[in-house]
Amino acid sequence: MTAEGDTLTEPSPSPAVPGPPRPGPRAGDATAPPAPAQEPFAGLDERPVAEHVAVFEAEHARLERELGTIDRL
């Protein structure tokens, strides 16, 4: 209980604690992100619908490979 006239205040926010550095592409790293001309879905709207599945499956496989490296960090 508080006495008459006492006011409650919110606690001060804790300062942010930085986490470990994020891994990023290194010079000469083969897993560097694709250049804009290599975007997997670039021009997809101009390709036949029959080719869309292959494009999405290839990107899915790439993402699985990339995400599979998370546990090794």
The amino acid that residue 27 corresponds to is: A
Identify which has the larger pLDDT, 28 or 56.
Answer: 56
Identify the pLDDT of residue 57: 93
Ordered by start, the domain boundaries in the chain are 36-72
User: How far from 12 is each of 2, 15, 19, CA to CA, in Å?
Assistant: 20, 9, 21
As given in the structure block, the two tokens for residue 57 are 């499956």
The amino acid that residue 17 corresponds to is: V
Please name which of 59, 10, 5 lies closest in space to residue 33, comparing C-alpha atoms.
59
User: Confidence band (pLDDT; 50, 70, 90) for 61?
Assistant: very high
Q: What angle do CA 57, 62, 66 make, to 5 degrees?
A: 145
